[in-house]
């Protein structure tokens, strides 16, 4: 298995750090771009495991960190808190589009015909839909525990957020208090009708879609997965419910090993890709 790290420019002073797994397969087999969620990163928990899983089955996998996800030189710790605070949804859609274009342009290896799949977890699912709906080179989309809406804040929260100029959230794993600048909210309110319209993205996707969700997900309730399914083309969409598991499918960070439910999710995703892309 060929594994290699890459870097893409995301602005004058910003870069997208990527890892490619199974690069020997990039020109002939399906290639998966894995998109992490809020307070996530490419090397969190199941990231490297899922990449190796699909690569060992003959596919190519690209995992990456958004330039403003808070991860810097240390791949496992949030050290760039100023960047985390100034991140926006539109920036993430743009950066995923940059990765998609880099794949098509042969940056990771020569590609004669696109076999690209975008796989997003949590907020990364929404970003996947928003970018993929505008990129014909994406042949299928898979969502794990995806949100169906980016506006997750009460009117009181938004009013206070704009007044202070930032909102604070706690990272339960690390204990860090992480700020979100008002630019995130302003971006959402400015672009909710088009660029950040998840319903529109699902309705216009016109490609195979897998929606997988844990029935006991407390972070993103399964009703959000059901809402995404409700908007979708049922002839091209599969809804996969995993019982007795939650938002990360019983996977922890640091990674402590897989489990039966997560293996079922991997197998379902693999079968979906083989059926529709490979």
The string of pLDDT tens digits covering residues 213-263 is 999 999 999 999 999 999 999 999 999 999 999 999 999 999 999 999 999
Strand pairing class (116-121; 138-144): parallel
The string of pLDDT tens digits covering residues 83-123 is 999 999 999 999 999 999 999 999 999 998 899 999 999 99
Q: What is the predicted pLDDT for the residue at 85?
A: 98
d(CA 68, CA 58): 31
Tell me the pTM: 0.97
**Residue 202 pLDDT > 90, yes or no?**
yes
CATH number for region 3-151+195-276? 3.40.50.1820
Of 10-19, 116-125, 164-173, highest mean pLDDT: 116-125
Confidence at 172, pLDDT banded by 50, 70, 90:
confident
């Amino acid at each position: 298995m060929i594994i290699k790290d890459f870097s893409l420019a995301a602005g004058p002073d910003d870069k997208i750090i990527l890892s490619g797994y199974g690069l020997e397969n990039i020109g002939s087999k399906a290639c998966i771009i894995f998109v992490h969620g809020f307070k996530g990163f490419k090397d969190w928990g199941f990231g490297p495991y899922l990449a190796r899983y699909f690569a060992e089955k003959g596919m190519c996998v690209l995992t990456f960190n958004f330039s403003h996800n808070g991860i810097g030189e240390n791949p496992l710790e949030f050290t760039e808190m100023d960047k985390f605070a100034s991140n926006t949804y539109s920036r993430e859609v743009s950066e995923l589009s940059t990765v998609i274009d880099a794949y098509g342009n042969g940056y990771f290896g020569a590609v004669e015909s696109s076999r690209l799949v975008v796989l997003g977890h949590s907020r990364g699912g929404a970003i996947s839909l928003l970018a993929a709906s505008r990129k014909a080179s994406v042949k299928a989309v898979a969502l794990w525990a995806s949100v169906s809406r980016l506006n997750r804040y009460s009117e009181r929260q938004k009013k206070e957020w704009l007044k202070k100029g930032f909102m604070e959230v706690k990272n339960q794993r690390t204990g860090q208090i992480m700020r979100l600048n008002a630019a995130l909210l302003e971006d959402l309110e400015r672009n909710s009708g088009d660029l950040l319209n998840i319903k529109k993205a699902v309705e216009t996707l016109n490609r195979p879609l897998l929606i997988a969700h844990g029935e006991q997900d407390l972070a993103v309730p399964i009703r959000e997965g059901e809402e995404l399914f409700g908007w979708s083309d049922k002839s091209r969409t599969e809804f996969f419910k995993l019982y007795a598991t939650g938002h990360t499918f019983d996977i922890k960070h640091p990674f402590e090993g897989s489990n039966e439910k997560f293996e079922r999710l991997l197998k379902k995703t693999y079968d979906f890709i083989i059926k529709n892309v490979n």
